[in-house]
Amino acid sequence: MVTRRSVAAKGGDVVLLVGTLKGAFFLRAPATRTAWAVEGPYLPGRAVYALAHDGREGRQRIWASAASMHWGAVLVSTDDWGRTWTEPPEANVKFPVESGLALKQIWQITPGRADEPDTLYCGVEPAALFRSTDGGKAWTVVRGLLDHPHRPRWTPGGGGLCLHTIVTDPVRADRMWVAISTGGVYRTDDGGRTWAARNVGIRAEFLPEKYPEFGQCVHKIVQPPRGKTLFLQNHWGLYRSDDGGDSWQDVARGVPSDFGFAMAAHPHDPDTVYVLPLESDQFRCPPEGKLRVYRTRSGGRTWEPLSRGLPQQRVYETVLRDAMTTDALDPVGVYFGTRNGKLFASNDGGGSWRLTVDSLPPVVCVRAVGTDDARGRRKTSPRSARR
């Protein structure tokens, strides 16, 4: 029998939502973020590939993808930090029968913009985008992407043919980007009716044609605040786009490897991004056996290693695409989890790190929630230090 520890979060706490292959865990700390209480496991035995907090309109709701190897994947939610969960009586994310497709996994959950408080998106495997416009009760597949003429030529990567990243545009209501492994980046400018591949400049090392229109294995896209740039961690390659993805520029100068999965944006500084390089696609562990986060504070012109407090000898960890995140505090907290079940946290923008938990199941996603988010309180200090 699984014993679950559950502690309510208080106002001002930071809560880390950690999805693992065997359930979800919530880590709670006061704003100092020096000591963390571990709560869970929630949804024990089920793989939780995606977690998301929806704090719009006063909600305090957490969504989770809960996938049983036996009984399939569904979206579940909790409004009380995991004490009780709402399970759909019937599967809530399903392909239309005529598509011939069957859901394998739910890889991403993304609330819509603040001005569409009942809209949510989820990205799934096989690669498709679903949308709910009633707060998550009913989900329908986005036909423009499901029926895309490129679909027959998308091919699965090691994790399957998954739509794993959804980025909504904070300014243009009808614009959105998704990333598919392996299909690449697609953008809609008309609310999902049509989608165009947006991969110019992104390398496909594993194809004979190195710069195809589509077919890249994009691992993660992030959008720093103010919405003017995008950064991209590719299956080989680090990129930046200043034109909404119309073109991408290589910014992998100063990293020991441009292979990796995880990428996280600073919540306040549009020039600061974090990545965690891995040696290669053949050996997905940190280069030189040293666990290092790399940070750019110059929009990708230069990168610096952040290793204080991280193990620097014989490290064989892998950090997956959704397993690194930032919180919204100042100085910013940066967090990442590993496939070996370790969770590292920094409360000073990556300047120093602590091993917070070392025996979780394999970590597949990490998200940070400020418990003041839903109450509309200020999350950052006025000085907004760049740390």
Partner 1 sequence: MTRVAFRIPAALQPLAEGRRRLDVELPRSPLSLGEALDALWVVCPAMRDRVLTEQGDVRPHVNVFVGTDSSRWGGGLAMEVPDGAEISILPAVSGG
Q: Which residues bind partner 1 (CB under 8 A)?
A: 21, 68-72, 89-91, 94-97, 100-103
Identity of the residue, 95 or 206, whose beta carbon is nearer to partner 1 in the bound complex: 95
Q: Which helix (H) or strand (E) holds 143?
A: helix 143-146
3-state class (DSSP) for residue 157:
strand
CB of 146 to partner 1, least distance (A): 13
Q: How far apart are CA 216 and CA 184, in angstroms?
A: 5
CB of 367 to partner 1, least distance (A): 23
Find, among 306, 228, 308, 312, the residue nearest to 270 by Cα.
Answer: 228
Identity of the residue, 23 or 55, whose beta carbon is nearer to partner 1 in the bound complex: 23
Asked if 149 and 196 count as a contact pair (C-beta separation under 8 A), the reply is no
CB of 115 to partner 1, least distance (A): 32
CB of 28 to partner 1, least distance (A): 28
CB of 181 to partner 1, least distance (A): 21
Find, among 117, 42, 108, 100, the residue nearest to 75 by Cα.
Answer: 108
* Burial (Cβ within 10 Å: 0-12, 13-18, ≥19) of residue 64: buried
List the beta bridge partners of residue 111. 120
* Burial (Cβ within 10 Å: 0-12, 13-18, ≥19) of residue 247: middle
CB of 331 to partner 1, least distance (A): 38
Token duo for residue 45:
């035995």
Identity of the residue, 92 or 233, whose beta carbon is nearer to partner 1 in the bound complex: 92
Identity of the residue, 21 or 48, whose beta carbon is nearer to partner 1 in the bound complex: 21
CB of 78 to partner 1, least distance (A): 17
SS3 string of 56-98? HHHCCEEEEEEEECCCEEEEEEECCCCCCCECCCCCCCCCCHH
Identity of the residue, 10 or 70, whose beta carbon is nearer to partner 1 in the bound complex: 70
Identity of the residue, 69 or 355, whose beta carbon is nearer to partner 1 in the bound complex: 69
Identity of the residue, 102 or 173, whose beta carbon is nearer to partner 1 in the bound complex: 102
